[in-house]
Amino acid sequence: DQQVKQNSPSLSVQEGRISILNCDYTNSMFDYFLWYKKYPAEGPTFLISISSIKDKNEDGRFTVFLNKSAKHLSLHIVPSQPGDSAVYFCAASEGLRAGGTSYGKLTFGQGTILTVHP
Amino acid sequence: SAVISQKPSRDICQRGTSLTIQCQVDSQVTMMFWYRQQPGQSLTLIATANQGSEATYESGFVIDKFPISRPNLTFSTLTVSNMSPEDSSIYLCSVGRSYTGELFFGEGSRLTVL
């Protein structure tokens, strides 16, 4: 049972345009969501996160949107740069905001390969 | 952010053997986490390693197969025992910030079992 799904295995975007990566989840107990970027032969790197009490969080070129009713979140990268080419993972946690015992347990999606062409 | 070093970065192993992966963090942390990424799959938490107590394993993972040591606040090891080709994966060590939930990952150890 895949609780976090990234239905697009890959995405190709022109440099300077917007990249939109999507993620759906099924567990309504998730209350914290994160995006990670992973280059080959490296571990995942934290990008941006959002708590379930918000619907948007912005950090520079990266914005994450959360639609709780649809159980959907998305990561927008504007403008996209060739250096953004990587695998992007969506992840979710439950009970973190309440200081729950699930700290450290992230449920990951399968990743989306983003390629930004010059 | 934490600096996390893993050894080995990659290895090719024979079926039936065991391999120990080391994880070193540049600061003291209470909990360390071991994840696995099988080919084409998402990352999955194997276990949480607390210093001074036994590791806590997630459903589907058992201590006999993945014994973990946590001798101090900056170091942990994960052993993959009696390996089979299905154990071919990237194994990742991570630590986190409790107030944000974000995890920092090592570069991973890519194991190939023949």
Q: Nearest by CB to A93, from B31, B92, B101: name it.
A: B101
Contact indicator for A60, A41 with CB cutoff of 8 Å: no
Whole-number pLDDT of residue B92: 96
Whole-number pLDDT of residue B30: 86
| pLDDT tier, A112 (very low <50, low <70, confident <90, very high otherwise) | very high
What is the tens place of the pLDDT at every residue in B54-82? Answer: 899 999 999 999 999 999 999 999 999 99
Closest Cα to residue B34, out of B13, B16, B52, B61? B61
Whole-number pLDDT of residue B2: 79
Q: Do B96 and A89 touch (CB under 8 A)?
A: no
Q: Do A89 and B43 touch (CB under 8 A)?
A: yes
Q: Do B108 and A42 touch (CB under 8 A)?
A: yes
Backbone phi, then psi, for A75, in 5-degree steps?
A: -115, 125
What is the tens place of the pLDDT at every residue in A21-35? Answer: 999 999 998 988 999
Whole-number pLDDT of residue A40: 87
Q: Is the pLDDT of residue B98 over 70?
A: no
Q: Nearest by CB to B42, from A49, A104, A108: name it.
A: A108
Cα B84 to Cα B109: distance, rounded to the nearest angstrom: 16
Q: Nearest by CB to A105, from B4, B45, B104: name it.
A: B45
Cα B80 to Cα B14: distance, rounded to the nearest angstrom: 12
| pLDDT tier, A72 (very low <50, low <70, confident <90, very high otherwise) | very high
With a pLDDT cut of 70, the percent of chain B lying above it is 95
Q: Do A103 and B96 touch (CB under 8 A)?
A: yes
Cα A72 to Cα A8: distance, rounded to the nearest angstrom: 14
Q: Do B102 and A34 touch (CB under 8 A)?
A: yes
Strand-pair partners of A4: A25
